[in-house]
Amino acid sequence: MADFSLNFAQWAHAVSWLALTIALLLGLGRTIVFDRTDPIHCNALLQRGTWLDSAFKNWQPDGCMSHKYSVDDASSCLKGQKVVFVGDSVTRTLFYQFANLLDPKLPTGPPDDNGKHADYTILTSSGIQISFYWDPYLNGTHLRSIISDKPQVDASRPGLLVVGGGLWYLRYPESGGLSAWEGNIQHLVTSLAGSSLSSSARDIVVLPVEDVVPSKLSSERANVMRLSDIDAMNADLAHRIFPVAEDSVFSLSLPAAAVPIALPSVFNAMLDPSQTQDGLHFSDVIVRAQANLLLNYRCNEVLPKKFPLDKTCCRRYPSPSFLHSLILLVLVMWGPYLVLVAHKAGGHGRITIRSEELPAVIFSAATALVYIADRTGFWLKEQKQFNSWTFTAGMLAIVASGFAKVKVADGDLGYLNRDQTDEWKGWMQLVILVYHYLGASKVSGIYNLVRVIVAAYLFMTGYGHTTFYIRKADFGFLRIAQVLVRLNLFTILLAYVMNTDYISYYFSPLVSLWFVVIYATMALGATFNESTPFLVMKFIISAGVMTWLMTEEWPMNMLFEILQHFCGIRWSAREWRFRVTLDLWIVYVGMFTALAVIKIQKHRLTDHPKWPLVVKSSIVASALTMVWYFAFELWQEDKFVYNKWHPYISFLPVLAFTILRNATPLLRSVSFTAFAWVGKCSLETFIIQFHFWLAADTKGILLVLPGTWWRPLNFLLTSIVFLYLSHQVSEATGQITKWICGSTKKPASLPTAAPEPRREVLFDSRGEQSVPLMERNGDASKDQNAPSLVAPAAQPGRWLNRLANSPPTPHLPSLNSWKGPLGVKGKLAIGVVAMWICNLLWSYDY
């Protein structure tokens, strides 16, 4: 019989690789079949889509992301150009909504009924001329002059020509009806096909004949406007613009247009019977979405291609510069190069990936996968949509996964022990992931809670680092290097690979900043750190200095200007101040908490007869605080009002949670294994989600399985690959950090408050010297016993099984270059100089 005694790690590894293989095959197959005729999803934008919400505010083109155009975006695209609309009353409604998108001060309809059949010309505040010519039969002199073969000078040529009509042929049969329509459309299409774009317009759009709602039409209209006739007219129009060639009979995608005309057939799919009163003219919200679609068609390719790349319909991805390509090539080939070098040196019969090269291979594979996911069209991207039922289901799934396996320690592990903080980070990270995936930031009540989750991460940063420095007093450079490299290595590389900026991945820079602040606070006058009043004074002074630096605009503005002029770094001082000031004091709450816990243990206050009363009182107060906080945050008018309160109150629910979570010895000894596993790679899950799982620099979601209706299955498939990738990158980053820093000792995981033995230990395979997003605050002696969903196994021979089960060995003969005489400072100096040169030579699209 077959042996099915695989451990959990091997099963997880196999399932993850199967999911990744399926995703790659789906991407390859879709690219070959569909992208042959529609590589930049213009046809998808114009032909297929669906509403994601019942309010008709989030239209989703099939397989790509549309952009909601602002006045500035639209003006930048069409500045100095003319836009011409020709047609009937349906086209006129679109004309007014289009003009209002470009300038909100413009009207959304004709001034009075007497002027309904007149021509209009409007000039926007940015100088864009928008004209409408009343021509319901599409045979007027204005249209004929535009599409004539006579060349027009560039200044008079419209940047966009929109033509729409047809219903009048049905409304007034004496005009000739369908036969007259067909003849006129034949002439129109033939004229456009026979003329060059330079003699008509830059972009030409012929609108489909609009579907009507027969039940809401007047009796006169209902007798002559039949849906069957409208369908026949649209079929004829589509056949003339997209003639079916013999070789495309079996094609699954729409053939390329034979004439330079765009036909947005999807306009009829955007209509809903509830959004019309007369059965013919639809609400502003529908028509405005149609106008926005026209801007996506005309402007997406024109706007600067800078991150976030949240416009994937009718838009090519930017080509990387030479320097960008070089960095990408080096990172992608780094792992394979080391494997080949080791293979040649060892003289093996076949190429194998040893544990020594495995971290580099993981980094290379992760870099390639993330780049392919979010900087190419290999996989699709679509827009987010919040749904309260889906969000609730996601939260319930998180709870269920947490209870799948519970770990109970033998004794009391102490306040905020390592298992507990891993668990805390894990479930908070999962909540953040679902929050981002569904775009729940629009819901104030959920946004406010996630703000507290971020504050809790920073609380752990203050608590953990302060605990370490009070107990260890290790202020050496090696620990600084290890922590900062571990927190920032993958983030910095990703910023170059994806052509983003470092502070856009705000958790890494935020936690790094606070680590430096805590280090400076604790290191200054460190010989007096045994004095509680002295530490309290330092904490208060540090908080005052940080408050001044972040509330005054000029210090950060000056610093960022210096970085831009001398280092080529283009960061937003305003965005950075917002990120820091939103949680300006929670780190200091963590620092004061660490000091209090250490002093309570030192003076054995838990042995005092009144301590049980203090504990019970704290539990009651904490429970009441949590109830008050939930009521308060839900009561706020919106998230902007809440943000003003957040820095002053966020510590209340955070401290209340820690007290309730540590209320009894049993609660302190219990942890949820699945959450702890995610907590160990929470930095990587936060960073990688920007481009894989989410997409478009977090503005959309990644679809490896084509089709909006397959979103639930797509969620499952991408989640498996995403979590597996994050876990592997986390372990590889920890190992590479050890290579760079070159020490056999680690800056111990931050000590717990529990009275456990304190001793230095070696790095573990995950490089757990620093907790993703925050430092761990478990005792150093517990680092080798960290909870993991990956059970230990015997060392198998195949590298795939080693990847699933075993840490890389500390002996790395293929990386001797990292062990030269340079030392940590030399290696880091080389890295800083390399980044400085790259920043100065980097080319920007803005």
Catalytic residues: 89, 278, 281
Secondary structure (3-state) at 504: helix
Interatomic CA distance for residues 173 and 178, integer angstroms: 8
Amino acid letter at 815?
L
Say which residue the tokens 């840490």 belong to. Answer: 807
Q: Quote the tokens at residue 45.
A: 């934008």
Q: Which of 354, 330, 285 is nearest to 93 (CA)?
A: 285
Contact 313, 65 (CB under 8 A): yes
- Provide the residue count of the chain: 846
Burial (CB count <10 Å: 0-12, 13-18, 19+), residue 165 = buried
Q: Count of alpha carbons within 13 Å of 717, Cβ hemisphere only?
A: 21
Say which residue the tokens 């960061």 belong to. Answer: 571
Q: Which of 754, 783, 679, 782 is nearest to 423 (CA)?
A: 679
Q: Quote the tokens at residue 292.
A: 């926005």
Cβ neighbours of residue 354 under 8 Å, at least 6 residues apart? 339, 342, 799, 814
**Is the peptide bond prior to 810 cis by the omega test (within 30 degrees of 0)?**
no
Q: Which of 544, 531, 533, 465 is nearest to 748 (CA)?
A: 465
Cβ neighbours of residue 600 under 8 Å, at least 6 residues apart? 606
Interatomic CA distance for residues 159 and 124, integer angstroms: 15
Interatomic CA distance for residues 41 and 497, integer angstroms: 24
Dihedral sign from CA coordinates of 289, 294, 298, 301: positive
Say which residue the tokens 């107990």 belong to. Answer: 471
- In eight-state DSSP terms, residue 709 is G
Interatomic CA distance for residues 565 and 563, integer angstroms: 6
Main-chain dihedrals φ then ψ at residue 167, nearest 5 degrees: -65, -25
Interatomic CA distance for residues 704 and 684, integer angstroms: 20
Interatomic CA distance for residues 291 and 297, integer angstroms: 10
Q: Quote the tokens at residue 168.
A: 């009048």
Contact 261, 147 (CB under 8 A): no
